[in-house]
């Protein structure tokens, strides 16, 4: 059996998102680098302020998740942060987050990486930790202040933000885990060498055989293992490097545009990398109803996908209003120009 499911039923007891308020219209990127003649794959992307990074954004999302879970943070026995943009090369983001939310000192803390599926990796580990009774609660975060070389295709879509999830006993959960499955291969479509300031990518190679192969394989395998059809799900969310990729993979798998619409946020905030599919899940939970099934499939370059199936419980509306909804962060926006973006992201080297 390929499906991964702990013997102890577990689920999401609290969730929260965070998106910085600044927005760069991608027409600004086109204006600077193609004289406005280049195509624009999305409308705009979120940009961290001067005082924001993966650690500060993770703290905000974690506080939102904690508010919804309504538990003592000292009960959280693991704090895990998945990201491509940890602020320190040597010093964990996770300990900063754990300290800020009051989860220290008796908690396990670690940073995770696997490109854009680093966030869902933290969830799978949390399922195992809580499902084995080694802990009652674990916190998994997917967050990025995404990177892109000036003028590169990534700069048009690389946004910032993400989500945090507290995993706990199923009886306390707003969405219960039904099962998960991972599919990985050594497919080098995207990478960043040590000391390299910006990542490199394989251009169209990042679609096939990377993104489409892994997401499709993981989704088909979990559906087969669970004896499900796409029509059994009200919602689905796939990793969102742009608008076209998740729409194409949904159509290939047999999901309708209506099933992916709620979680498809890339057009408004950009590709939030490790937080991409996870923040889509928070938007879904903001409107989901008891009995709804949700399929989430992440993708991380290098390459791999995690497929996770949830069923929403009757606790979903219990603490929904205890923290800002994801759409509130999306609607809270301040437009900036390319010069301001360059200053905020430290792209102008002065020494």
pTM for this prediction:
0.96
Catalytic residues: 84, 116, 239
> What's the mean per-residue pLDDT of the chain?
95
Least confident of 116-130, 141-155, 184-198: 184-198
Question: What does the alpha-carbon distance between residue 121 and residue 138 come to, in Å, rounded to a whole number?
Answer: 13
pLDDT at 100 > cutoff 90 = yes
Options 3.40.50.10300, 3.40.50.720, 3.40.47.10, 3.40.630.10; CATH for 12-173+325-344 is: 3.40.47.10
Three-state SS across 283-341? HHHCCCCCCCEEEEECCECCCEEEEEEEEECCCCCCCHHHCCCHHHHHHCCEECCHHHH
Residue ranges per structural domain of the chain: 12-173+325-344, 176-312
Options 3.30.2020.30, 3.40.47.10, 1.20.120.80, 3.50.50.60; CATH for 176-312 is: 3.40.47.10
pLDDT at 351 > cutoff 60 = no
pLDDT level of residue 207 (50, 70, 90 thresholds): confident
pLDDT at 54 > cutoff 80 = yes
* The domains spanning 12-173+325-344 and 176-312 adopt the same CATH topology: yes
pLDDT, position 204:
64
pLDDT at 148 > cutoff 90 = no
- Tens of pLDDT, residues 222-246: 999 999 999 999 999 999 999 999 9
pLDDT level of residue 205 (50, 70, 90 thresholds): low
pLDDT, position 350:
62
Structure tokens at 145: 């202040």
């Amino acid at each position: 059996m390929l499906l991964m499911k702990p013997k102890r039923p577990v689920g999401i007891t609290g969730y929260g998102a965070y998106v910085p308020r600044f927005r760069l219209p991608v027409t600004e990127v086109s204006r600077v680098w193609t004289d406005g003649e280049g195509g624009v794959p999305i409308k705009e992307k979120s940009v961290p302020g001067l005082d924001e990074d993966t650690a500060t954004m993770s703290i905000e999302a974690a506080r939102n998740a904690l508010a919804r879970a309504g538990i003592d943070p000292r009960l959280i026995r693991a704090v895990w942060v998945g990201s491509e943009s940890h602020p320190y090369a040597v010093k964990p983001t996770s300990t900063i987050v754990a300290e800020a939310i009051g989860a220290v000192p008796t908690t396990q803390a670690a940073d995770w990486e696997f490109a854009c599926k680093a966030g869902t990796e933290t969830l799978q580990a949390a399922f195992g930790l809580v499902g084995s009774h080694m802990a009652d609660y674990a916190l998994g975060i997917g967050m990025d202040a995404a990177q892109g070389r000036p003028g590169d295709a990534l700069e048009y879509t690389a946004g910032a933000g993400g989500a945090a999830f507290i995993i706990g006993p199923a009886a306390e959960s707003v969405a219960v885990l039904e099962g998960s499955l991972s599919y990985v291969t050594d497919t080098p479509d995207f990478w960043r060498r040590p000391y390299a300031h910006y990542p490199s990518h394989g251009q169209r190679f990042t679609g096939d055989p990377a993104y489409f192969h892994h997401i499709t394989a993981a989704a088909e395998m979990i559906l087969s293992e669970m004896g499900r059809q796409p029509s059994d799900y009200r919602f689905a969310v796939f990793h969102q490097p742009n608008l076209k990729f998740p729409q194409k993979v949904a159509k290939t798998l047999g999901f309708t545009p209506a099933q992916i619409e709620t979680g498809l946020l890339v057009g408004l905030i950009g590709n939030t990398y490790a937080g991409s599919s996870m923040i889509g899940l928070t938007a879904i939970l903001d409107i989901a109803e008891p009995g709804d099934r949700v399929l989430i499939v992440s993708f991380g370059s290098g390459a791999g996908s995690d497929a996770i199936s949830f069923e929403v419980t009757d606790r979903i509306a219990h603490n929904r209003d205890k923290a800002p909804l994801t759409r509130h962060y999306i609607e809270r926006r301040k437009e900036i120009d390319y010069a301001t973006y360059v200053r905020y992201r430290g792209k102008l080297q002065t020494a």
